Structure 1
């Protein structure tokens, strides 16, 4: 390997890294660029040391890597900016890019649940085949409502948060194979449709929707988003994006899906707090608007911030964004 040619090839990157490392405050794109160049310079240092250990080049690269590392780790400002940018750009953009899958999944789910509720409510013989009269009366009269007051508020909130996070994770990850995600959707639709059908068929529609809607709007919205992103990942290898191989298309969709999964942890935490503290303690006339506000706020956030991120040239795939910065 020709050392002079190697230095000439990468000298521009090293000078740019030095410039960024000496800059006090960086724009978001400059932050990503510095991290990328730091990783490259570390690799270059390793190559020079192992293949052509020229002391001057090694000293230059060692000092450059140390200076860049100090700039990156010497303050929490960089980490804070990346954390904030995740919620202002990356996460809403990843959700927004899956909006058509999300809308289609939600529409299909609601239709299936509505059909199941209507069918079970209108056919008492179906109810009798599924539950005994005693079980139906218990569900209608107290057990459905008791579920929301069985545990302390904070324990119940944590319980539903972890349970919903698990369901969302299975729905998202299972999308790579399509069928697991469809199975999760069917199981949830079946459970909701059968229970709702019994409650509605026995004159307790007010109780059913009054307890389900406050937290269920945001909770189901998040789970359906996870399922939609999962199905989008699965479809990405069935019908790859233009100019992409199947493996590359799947990898890009998967990386974007990881961004959604991370963000949904916070969204489901909010839904858990509503289910733990609002649903069991406030009347439906107060609790349902809170749930509707939470869902509408999330949708507005996704649309507004997702569009803004696109306008600013961001990509929900972290690798694609780094490549764009590196080639700019």
Structure 2
């Protein structure tokens, strides 16, 4: 649709909405909420088809002005929790695929660096993992049970401890994004180097496959969501560095809100990872096919929800707008 036709078709709604938020006219909260949703849909459409236009600048302005008013008056649907995960978040996540890719490549790079350093420096693993952990693991290997560390605590205590710790790491990765994204990349780097040296240590002991089939039962989701939390931190950092058509303050507030939504989306996955580590990983006697099934299923779940599904939802949203009949220009 041409920009002039788009403006002509929707300008009455925009003017009505602007009048409400500027003059604080009385309007039913549900009607105001509906207008807000339409305006933000139009903003998304303008960002796609009319970048750098006056229309986009205007919609940015009224959408940001209205945000606080809407969330003071909007009646939350009883299905809000479900629609957040099935509709709102996937569309949001589509906007940040680039940051997710950068976070993943950073993690991959420093994992390789960690493994390489462990292979060429005999003291590197101990400096990263600590003498206590390395000595304990070597003792477990000598006793014929290299993965005994996953069996020493009770299931429930381990589940709770691991879940809380993982959420804490994710929050650090998010909050440190305020340091112009560098803080989030640093958290990713720390965890990646630790993983690379940790995994190399087991390969060096001739326990490569056993470590992979055991550790990655919970590690597939655990590591993935740490990367995603790092992506959330980069959303915050980039909102400061690249405000676009927003003022820097408005961009920062928007970045914090969107980054926090990404972090919230990871909480169910951290719970799943904690459950797997507390209740499943300890069963090292399970057959290889079952371990592979859990690892593969976890990987597919993460890739689908954070990469494939957002693309599907974005395509559906574009088709919805493109099917609108074109109005002649004025």
What TM-score, normalized to structure 1?
Answer: 0.67
Deviating above 6 A after TM superposition, structure 1's stretches of 4 or more consecutive aligned residues are none
Within a 5 Å distance, the mapping from 1:283-322 to structure 2 comes to 283-311=287-315
2:9 maps to which residue?
A: none
1:17 maps to which residue?
A: 28
Structure 2 contact 117–197 (Cα < 8 Å) conserved: no
- Name which of 265, 268, 271 aligns with 1:269: 271
- CA apart distance, 1:182: 2.9
Point out where structure 2 has 5 or more consecutive residues left out of the alignment. Answer: 1-18, 41-64, 319-330
Q: Secondary structure at the match of 2:28?
A: helix
- CA apart distance, 1:279: 1.6
Distance 1:213 1:160 in 2: 15
Q: Does 1:201 find its partner at 2:212?
A: no
Residues 104/13 of structure 1: CA separation in 2 closer, same or farther (3 Å cut): same
Within a 5 Å distance, the mapping from 1:1-328 to structure 2 comes to 14=26, 17=28, 29=37, 72=75, 79-121=77-119, 124=122, 131=131, 137-138=138-139, 140-141=141-142, 145-177=147-179, 178-241=181-244, 243-281=245-283, 282-311=286-315
- CA apart distance, 1:28: 11
Distance 1:293 1:41 in 2: 40
Larger radius of gyration: 1
- CA apart distance, 1:240: 2.0
Distance 1:204 1:41 in 2: 57
Residues 141/183 of structure 1: CA separation in 2 closer, same or farther (3 Å cut): farther
Distance 2:70 2:111 in 1: 55
Distance 1:122 1:185 in 2: 22
Structure 2 contact 115–193 (Cα < 8 Å) conserved: no
Distance 1:84 1:27 in 2: 22
Point out where structure 1 has 5 or more consecutive residues left out of the alignment. Answer: 1-8, 44-67, 73-77, 315-328
What TM-score, normalized to structure 2?
Answer: 0.67
Q: Secondary structure at the match of 1:206?
A: helix
Q: Secondary structure at the match of 1:79?
A: coil
More helix by share: 1
Distance 1:97 1:240 in 2: 15
Instruction: Spell out, residue by residue over 1:193-246, the C-alpha distance to the aligned partner (whole angstroms, 9 max, x if none).
Output: 2222221112111222122211111111111011012023112212222x1222
Distance 1:136 1:308 in 2: 45
